[in-house]
Structure 1
Amino acid sequence: MKKLLTILIAALMSVCALFSFTACGNQKDPDKLYVGMECGYAPFNYTQTTDENGALKISNAPGYANGYDVLIAKKIAESLGKELVIVKYEWDALIPAVQSGALDFIIAGMSRTDERKESIDFSEPYYTSQLVIVVRKAEEGGKFANAKTLADFNGAKIVAQNGTFHDKALNAQGPAFGITRATPMESFPLMINALKTKAVDGYVAEDPGAQADCAANSEFTYIPLVNNDTGFTTTPGDVEISVGLKKGSEYLTAINDALAKISKEERSSLLETAIRNSFGNSVA
């Protein structure tokens, strides 16, 4: 029943967002690309108050969007010869929105898991993630600041974002290491607050996100786990971050072509820029 309610709410949010584009005769402009993201997951996508460092105005919420996902979206829009429009969505509403046509595609740090591929199509990956755990520093009362492997988190209460493979990995693998899985939360800002208030001992993140969060919160540090070694067991589909599109979308080939033009070195440079620019900015 709870799962059904979540799906219905996500679908309703998708419809509402679509209405915002079509109300009062304001149809989607075919010369624009409508790209969805949370705008709350630094350094991939986050909200700031100005257009500093090339941030783009969020079309349906206050503030400006910036981050690695925005930089990748800009590259794709430029390659396609279209104007980029950033649309803010809650995580669970992103896939219903692209399915309904409210969005042209999703660029939101989303991995192309087998489960998601049943609902939407994905591009080739533009980033491969590494799962880590953010904790409080020892001098801030953190009990797990010196951990090296998942086994060192025995007795810890760890949280992950709802609806992500982070949470699935934590749920499936955590108990074997004596880890208590906290009730998953809807966003990273909520998890950051939970760690600040000591409601949890840590949260699962990706390496760049952990770097940004620790830079913004001096009481935090993170444990640099290695997938399939000292950390979580993952599959390529779990960790390959890709662009999400409606099944059969005409954009898929063009997006893959655009991504192919971005070299490994340029992607690394864009990510470093996103991490640096996110320091001191809001992730809410």
Structure 2
Amino acid sequence: MKKKTGLWLTAILSAGMMLGGCGSEESGSTGGGASEESETFKVGMEAAYAPFNWTQGDDSNGAVKISGNAEYAGGYDVEIAKRIAEDMGKELEIVKTEWDGLVPALTSGKIDAIIAGMSPTAERKETIDFSDHYYTSELVMVVKKGGEFENATKLADFEGAKITAQLNTFHYTVIDQIEGVSKETAMESFPSMRVALESGMIDGYVSERPEAVSASAANENFAMVEFEDGFETSEDDTAVAVGLEKGSDLAEAINETLAGISEEERQEIMDTAIQNQPAAQ
């Protein structure tokens, strides 16, 4: 009986190894991430960071259906993702993912790329690769209109202010550059920070200019503060790029698409995204 059991186990294991070998050949990837031969391009984003990306109820203004969801994703990132997918001859699939889950989703193979207004910081580069930059912005502060910080022009004006930023972003680290600031607990999303600002829990939050323009456009009680004497940042900190798994064979094709989008066109796409964002975003 033990001999027969052993023979059956050997047969099962052999079959498993053959199937596993077939799967490896089908993937065809020379590095991390999705294969160039795949028919879909799975892109992860929060769909909650207007004007880079947001969630809406229909496909108006070029929005794309969110995978496994009745809703759609729109915004600057979606337009960039559409260009990349089209050039690669793939079907775009938007995978709505919480910010903290984006990198794990990428490294585990659940998505092929992160196109979510993500900056290619040195810390992130230790875990994943990035494409060339597809947008560059500047850091600003979102505050209450008519409040004591609306007319601020330099970081020193925020001494004593209750300031926060999104969790696990470099936005949160630069708050330390404000002397005497009350650095509040980081928040998970921009919608949650807008609610906190509206309620008076915070005096302001650090953001990039496009999001701040969107916030003030969506809520008449918000204002954007641009600095004469602002945060010290690196070029990678204020740029955004496509996140890719280490060694991804999609990098060359993605960079080729990005190189074909001029700075003027990028700004036009961003201006359109700001105009088209849903009022609630």
- TM-score, with normalisation over the residues of structure 1? 0.84
* Secondary structure at 1:271 match in 2: helix
* Secondary structure at 2:58 match in 1: coil
1:73 equivalent among 69, 72, 81:
81
C-alpha distance in 2, partners of 1:222/1:150?
Answer: 14
> Does structure 1 conserve the Cα–Cα contact (< 8 Å) formed by 2:48 and 2:54?
yes
1:148 equivalent among 144, 150, 153:
153
C-alpha distance in 1, partners of 2:208/2:167?
Answer: 15
* Secondary structure at 1:248 match in 2: coil
User: Which residue of structure 2 lines up, in the alignment, with residue 219 of structure 1?
Assistant: 221
* Secondary structure at 1:276 match in 2: helix
**Structure 2: gaps of 5 or more residues:** 1-34
Deviation, structure 1 residue 47: 0.6
Q: Percent identity of the aligned residues?
A: 54
C-alpha distance in 1, partners of 2:131/2:261?
Answer: 14
Deviation, structure 1 residue 62: 3.8
Q: Within 5 A, what are the aligned runs for 1:199-210?
A: 199-210=201-212
Q: Within 5 A, what are the aligned runs for 1:244-259?
A: 244-259=243-258
Q: Within 5 A, what are the aligned runs for 1:126-145?
A: 126-138=134-146, 142-145=147-150
User: Which residue of structure 2 lines up, in the alignment, with residue 117 of structure 1?
Assistant: 125
Deviation, structure 1 residue 264: 1.1
1:173 to 2:177 alignment: yes
> Does structure 2 conserve the Cα–Cα contact (< 8 Å) formed by 1:45 and 1:65?
yes
Structure 1 stretches of 4+ with a deviation exceeding 4 A read none
> Over alpha carbons, which structure has the higher Rg?
2
User: Which residue of structure 1 lines up, in the alignment, with residue 184 of structure 2?
Assistant: 182
Instruction: Give the count of matched residue pairs.
Output: 246
> Does structure 2 conserve the Cα–Cα contact (< 8 Å) formed by 1:215 and 1:279?
no
C-alpha distance in 2, partners of 1:50/1:149?
Answer: 41
Deviation, structure 1 residue 279: 4.7
* Secondary structure at 1:243 match in 2: strand
C-alpha distance in 2, partners of 1:253/1:225?
Answer: 37
- TM-score, with normalisation over the residues of structure 2? 0.85
Q: Within 5 A, what are the aligned runs for 1:1-284?
A: 30-138=38-146, 142-170=147-175, 172-174=176-178, 176=179, 178-225=180-227, 230-280=229-279, 282-283=280-281
C-alpha distance in 2, partners of 1:87/1:279?
Answer: 20
RMSD between superposed Cα atoms in Å: 1.3
